[in-house]
Amino acid sequence: MSGFFFTLNPPSSIMRTVIYPGSFDPPTNGHLDVIQRASRLFDRVIVGVARNENKQPLFTLAERRTLIEESVVDLGNVEVDVFEGLLVEYVEKQNGNAVIRGLRAVSDFEFEFQMALMNRKLNEKVETLFMMPRASYSFLSSHLVKEIASLGGDVSAFVTQSVRKALQSRFGKAARN
């Protein structure tokens, strides 16, 4: 039999590490979907909660980290960390092989594509992979969840119970069950 043999599995001595960066303010079920699926594809997933001075977050870095940690406690190969600065430098520091980014809609693609190309220019060893969330989460964003919660809407279908409680605590009775 002639031909090429192709495998997705690297030699066992290579640990495949992916970084999933974002602000996660708050983490949604769409984020968790990407994390869970990435955990099946990589040996190690690091959810990197990014400090972004251009945004006014609802939750502190520590709160966002804790909310994600509570949501991924059952995933043994997922770590949650906080970082600032250039993503490619963080990936290298963590011995990462790739960055994973979620794409909800075509409108996300242009920005993410430009970011991936810039990251490649900064460090050509860092690959960017795009993952679409399940269709049931394709409309979901942290911004929309915060808006719904602030107006008293039910966000329980969009976030974990601990995130819902954190939103309820932040907005008072507005974020109901």
State the catalytic residues.
Answer: 31, 55, 104, 142
The 10 Å CB-count burial string (b at 16+, else e) for 10-44 is: eeeeeeebbbbbbbbbbbbbbbbbbbbbbbeebeb
DSSP state of 45: E
Nearest to 81 by CA among 114, 131, 45: 45
Asked if omega into 10 is within 30° of 0 (cis), the reply is no
CA distances from 37 to 21, 32, 78 (A): 15, 8, 11
The structure tokens listed for 89 are 């430098």
CA distances from 3 to 6, 7, 10, 30, 137 (A): 10, 13, 19, 40, 40
Q: Which residues contact 56 (CB under 8 A, 6 or more apart)?
A: none
